[in-house]
Amino acid sequence: MTTQDFSAGNYRFIPAVFQYSSGAAANAGFEIERVRFDRLLPLAEGFAQVAKYIQSARRPLTSFCACELRSPAVFTEDGFRKFNEHYVKTLAEWGLFDGTTNPVARSNVCLEIDPPAEPSFYAFSFTRPSGHATPSFVIAGGAETRGGSGSYPERIVRYRETSVEALKEKVQCTVGQMEDRLRTFGFSWKDTTAAQAYSVRDFHPVMVDELVRRGAMRSGLTWHFARPPVVDLEFEMDCRRVTREVLI
């Protein structure tokens, strides 16, 4: 993996797929601020509030670098593609998506209990000037899929298996993805200030070896009782180093 500079947003990112990047890191002289909504906001309303907040901070919309979404239910592979084609339209209007490359990192998961009626915003991040030397970054959500161009069933680790051994391999794969993305930016788990996990499975039996011993829980772990966005995925993670976090 390599990074690419997005000068219009004052950050660099790890190119991935058209719907999101694998992570964003603020350039020197800038920091990432994370803003969480006190209640979930439907996609259109969320984008409007994101724009309002960023502009009130006297920042361009291109400073938008990451978002965390919540969807009503898991998607089929085709349904996920259609959702993403709709989602990126606003990013294109904001000058973030050029039709091929998308610098914005993302997590999009599905709450198992009391889900929203439609895809909604949970949180977002953007860059702003900073005099602090400490770096900040957001690593996008990743689940237990191998690389390659095959379908999800072909790439999911231990497809449709949920035994402890299968979950161990799924967590191993996901943690490995996070480590690869961190390393691409020149970071490691010791640089993170937060890590989040998304699963409805009991992954506690593998936490010590696959999360604690590898350093992924340096700052603890926030577990969301939610599913990854595509059917048959079981475990997802994201992580970040952000020193400024706000609730609105």
Is beta strand 194-198 parallel, antiparallel or unpaired with respect to 222-224? parallel
Which band of pLDDT confidence, cut at 50, 70 and 90, is reported for residue 151?
A: confident
119 vs 122: CA distance, rounded Å: 10
Is beta strand 105-111 parallel, antiparallel or unpaired with respect to 64-71? parallel
* pLDDT of the residue at 150: 84
Q: Do residues 46 and 52 touch, judged by C-beta distance below 8 A?
A: no
User: What residues make up the domain containing 138?
Assistant: 4-247
Query: Which of 248, 186, 242, 236 shows the shortest CA–CA distance to 219?
Result: 242
Reply yes or no on whether the pLDDT at 123 is more than 90.
Answer: yes
* pLDDT of the residue at 152: 87
Domain count, the chain: 1
* pLDDT of the residue at 166: 98
Which residues neighbour 211 within 8 Å (Cβ) at sequence distance 6 or greater? 171, 175, 217, 221
Query: Which of 98, 77, 108, 122 shows the shortest CA–CA distance to 13?
Result: 98
More confident residue, 56 or 152: 56
**What percent of the chain lies above the pLDDT cut of 90?**
89
What CATH number has the domain bearing residue 217?
3.30.1330.40
pTM for this predicted structure: 0.95
- C-alpha angle with apex 70: 37 to 76, nearest 5 degrees? 165
Mean pLDDT, residues 141-148: 92
Mean pLDDT, residues 53-80: 94
Token readout for 200 is 């409805």
Mean pLDDT, residues 130-151: 92
Reply yes or no on whether the pLDDT at 89 is more than 90.
Answer: yes
Mean pLDDT, residues 62-73: 96
Which band of pLDDT confidence, cut at 50, 70 and 90, is reported for residue 234?
A: very high
Tokens 């259609």 -> residue: 82
Reply yes or no on whether the pLDDT at 172 is more than 90.
Answer: yes
